[in-house]
Structure 1
Amino acid sequence: MTTWEYSTVPLLTHSTTQILNTWGEEGWELVSVTQGPNPENLVAFLKRPLN
């Protein structure tokens, strides 16, 4: 059975792709995105297998 680790990451709307690509290069998979504390911010929920 796979064991996962999780992370939450604040996303800035002007650099969302760059931020997600950086985390993706480190093996993180995007699970969900939700609105942050204000409409200009998003929060990404990520997971990757725990080694």
Structure 2
Amino acid sequence: MESKIEMISTVKIQHSPDLYKVVDVLNRTLKERDLMFGLALDQKDQDKAIFTIYRT
């Protein structure tokens, strides 16, 4: 069985130490709706984070 992950949206935002908490609660709350959320530091600007929404 093959699973496909589709990127729905991505946005670059100001990094904050608590952003991971928001992503964690979104993942825990909305996984039943086949949604997954990601957060990564921007490689070029460590003051920015990239927030991404996926459909699984």
- TM-score in terms of structure 1 length: 0.47
Greater C-alpha radius of gyration: 2
Question: As a proportion of its length, which structure holds more strand?
Answer: 1
Question: As a proportion of its length, which structure holds more helix?
Answer: 2
